[in-house]
Structure 1
Amino acid sequence: MLGYGTIPGIIFLVLLFFIPESPRYLIKKGRDSEAYQTLKQISGEKIAKKESQQIKASLDTEQSGSAKELLKPGLRMAMGVGIFLALFNQVIGMNAVTYYGPDIFRSVGFEKNTEFLATSIIGSVQVVFTIIALLLIDKLGRKKLMAIGSSLMAIFMVLIGSIFYFEPANSGPLLVIFVAGFTAAFCVSMGPIPWIMIPEIFPNHLRGKAVGIATMFLWGANWAIGQFTPILINNMGGAFTFWMFAVINVICFTFVMTIVPETKNKSLEEIAEMWKPNKKIGKEEVRKGLASTRG
């Protein structure tokens, strides 16, 4: 059965041969026409010309950066946003559900066969709503989806915690519905979007180092959730644990609404410009993002 895990890997390997090189790489290697064709396929002729010029300009001024640059004004803000997106991706409760789903369902009366059926349902929801996220992310924007998702996740976590607190009759089906709702909200928002935004918010010459730092925090949080979720459930109870995740989602919503800028329809070069100290990134870009979430 473990061998089935090789199938996605093989599919991924085959599909890699059909993925074009990035325009930045092609321009860096002097293959401008190939880069232009790739950009044209993605964005259209008019935008392709503009983005091609922006990439060339950024490469002309690009220097190898050190991690210390991430502590400078402007970039410090970007690093903070990247770290917090990475942390919220892990600590808002999805991994608690993923890692301990069978145990959670068993605690409300599911037997061995039905608990895995419930977990399979949640897995199916993950697949479907991740695909939906791919269709929505460039239409609604990163900020709006994260705001909607975190608010819905907070509501579902309150409902999940309430099941453990009040222990209503027929709590099993209710728990599956609420966990599925939480999972759907996660998969269209704080699941995929941080993985998209974290790389795109950093200047090209610092992207590798910055993403590495953010990812370090992400996996550190992943470890903590894996270690401490069962301890919390066993010692504090399911209600406290899931209400705690609800509070974290409220904090996430507040962070998204007040700090995270909208990067929809911006090139990497335009995003890099946002973080320059004289641009005063926070107020203007966050204001635009707030307007988009209300639109």
Structure 2
Amino acid sequence: MNVMAKAEKKISSAFIYFFGSFGGILFGYDIGVMTGALPFLQADWHLENAATLVGWITSAVMFGAIFGGALAGQLSDKFGRRKMILMSAIVFMVFSVLSGVSPDMGEASAYYLIIVRALLGLAVGAASALVPAYMSEMAPANARGRLSGLNQTMIVSGMLLSYIVDFLLKDLPGEWAWRLMLGLAAVPALILFLGVLRLPESPRFLINHGDEAGARQVLTYIRKDTSEIDQELKSIKETAAQESQANKKASWSTLFNGKYRYLVIAGVGVAAFQQFQGANAIFYYIPLIVEKATGQAAASNLMWPIIQGIILVAGSLVYMWIAEKFNRRTLLMLGGTVMGLSFILPAILNWIMPNMNPMTIVVFLCIYVAFYSFTWAPLTWVLVGEIFPLAIRGRASGLASSFNWIGSWLVGLVFPIMTASMSQEAVFAIFGVICILGVLFIKTRVPETRGHTLEEIEAQGTKHASK
């Protein structure tokens, strides 16, 4: 056994799972950090009446992530999950710093920041794709559900961390506050890089590249029962062979043939609805939402993102507790219904009572976030991971991820444009209608996956194709 192997042998499984999922912190931090930075940035660069530029600056990360996720998936199959997570951390560090040192050149500054944040988005998209893949390949089968919940908890914890950092920096001079908020994203990226340096490559990748001895070695220090390692190695090799055959036979047209169309539409539709329901409008713009509702300066409303972050973290823990106690469809329909009503009711109340307390809409937004946090936020990716048959899983999962990022980008882009031309209550009512449409989609187009084997789920697609 060489020195590297001895060093790796000492790594605890807790260390591996913690840093394996730590990429979620980066993902969450960059989703949340612009929430607090934006009011200061707007004031510093005089962008209060530049809704389109504000939308692009905010959403540029998601635009880059559309391509980062797809690119990382391809490259990680060639170079390994671990190396690509390290590369993502480096890209994240570099472009976080470049965001913080944006030159002040008038309108050209905004275009500079849009480009830099789009490149940063490559790392965000890569982390969102690589972390779940690495975790699923490292975790024992009976722990994958809980570790999926751990990844969601890491993401929302990253969001909460960014909200707290924003709050702590809010009393700095405006031109320094937003720069430090954006630049400090490099710190968790550095922590991730140093942690992942000590992590091993996943056994699945090693098997796919002919290194069975290396895969066995990794399994010896992440599995408590070493007597089952031979069986797990055999299972990994069989699955890898099946997927290799499936990938040779599958094409993009395969996704939409009669046998698979029902399941592809279901999985991609859920991923798209998760974003088009408007959650990220709250996460990106809550200080500006409160400012428009109350007239108080957005920079003085940075406690509200922290409240939203606490709700998100609490909801992710609730999900880990109830995940296997309720059907996926039941939770998604419950969550979508309450979310929709939380958006629609303020518009109705404002129409009935024009002098309604303006903070009412913020209370309803908190209710929305609470139900989103333990239903659509985690369950979308649980369902996407379960619903696609082996023969199309790679392409279908990539398509679902792309639609999710496109939805995230569009919501971030158009929300400030929409609120510049209509009332917030009307904008959220539109999102509320989309939530209700999402519930109808779940009820009519999405099969239940909890407790069903992949073969049983695939049989439902075949059944629908024959109708």
For the aligned pair, the TM-score class normalised by the smaller chain equals 0.7 to 0.9
Residues 20 and 38 in structure 1, CA contact (< 8 A), matched pair in contact too: no
> Cα distance 1:278–1:6, how it changes in 2: closer, same or farther (>3 A)?
closer
> Cα distance 1:281–1:134, how it changes in 2: closer, same or farther (>3 A)?
farther
Which residue identity is paired with 2:303? L
Residues 161 and 241 in structure 1, CA contact (< 8 A), matched pair in contact too: no
Q: CA deviation at 1:78?
A: 1.7
Counterpart of 2:268 (choices 67, 83, 86) is 83
Residues 261 and 282 in structure 1, CA contact (< 8 A), matched pair in contact too: no
Residues 311 and 370 in structure 2, CA contact (< 8 A), matched pair in contact too: yes
- 248-257 vs 2-11, greater mean Cα deviation: 2-11
SS at match of 2:293: coil
Residues 158 and 242 in structure 1, CA contact (< 8 A), matched pair in contact too: yes
Q: CA deviation at 1:203?
A: 2.8
Q: CA deviation at 1:185?
A: 0.9
Please name the residue that 1:99 is paired with.
284
Residues 259 and 282 in structure 1, CA contact (< 8 A), matched pair in contact too: no
Which string of whole-angstrom CA distances, capped at 9 and with x for unpartnered residues, describes residues 223-262 of structure 1?
2222322333332322322221121111111111222122
Q: CA deviation at 1:160?
A: 3.2
Residues 163 and 175 in structure 1, CA contact (< 8 A), matched pair in contact too: no
Q: CA deviation at 1:184?
A: 0.9
The percentage of counterpart residues that share the same residue type is 26
SS at match of 1:86: helix
Matches within 5 A, 1:101-140: 101-112=286-297, 113-140=299-326
Please name the residue that 2:412 is paired with.
226
Q: CA deviation at 1:97?
A: 1.5
Please name the residue that 2:463 is paired with.
280
Residues 154 and 245 in structure 1, CA contact (< 8 A), matched pair in contact too: yes
Counterpart of 2:357 (choices 170, 178, 196) is 170
Which residue identity is paired with 1:259? R
Counterpart of 1:9 (choices 189, 192, 195) is 189
Runs (4+) of structure 1 moved beyond 6 Å? 31-42, 51-56
> Cα distance 1:52–1:248, how it changes in 2: closer, same or farther (>3 A)?
farther
Tell me how far apart the structure 2 counterparts of residues 141 and 160 of structure 1 sit (CA, whole Å): 30
Q: CA deviation at 1:282?
A: 8.6
SS at match of 1:262: coil
Tell me how far apart the structure 2 counterparts of residues 235 and 140 of structure 1 sit (CA, whole Å): 41
Q: Which has the larger radius of gyration?
A: 2
Tell me how far apart the structure 1 counterparts of residues 376 and 340 of structure 2 sit (CA, whole Å): 12
> Cα distance 1:59–1:236, how it changes in 2: closer, same or farther (>3 A)?
same
Which residue identity is paired with 1:5? A
Please name the residue that 1:271 is paired with.
454
CA RMSD in angstroms, aligned pairs only: 3.5
Matches within 5 A, 1:150-189: 150-162=336-348, 164-165=350-351, 166-172=353-359, 174-189=360-375
Q: CA deviation at 1:88?
A: 0.6
Give the count of matched residue pairs. 273
Tell me how far apart the structure 2 counterparts of residues 257 and 67 of structure 1 sit (CA, whole Å): 27
Which residue identity is paired with 1:275? E
TM-score by length of 1: 0.75
SS at match of 2:447: coil
SS at match of 2:376: coil
Please name the residue that 1:70 is paired with.
255
Unaligned runs of 5+ in 2: 1-179
Tell me how far apart the structure 1 counterparts of residues 254 and 444 of structure 2 sit (CA, whole Å): 24
Please name the residue that 1:289 is paired with.
none
> Cα distance 1:253–1:19, how it changes in 2: closer, same or farther (>3 A)?
farther
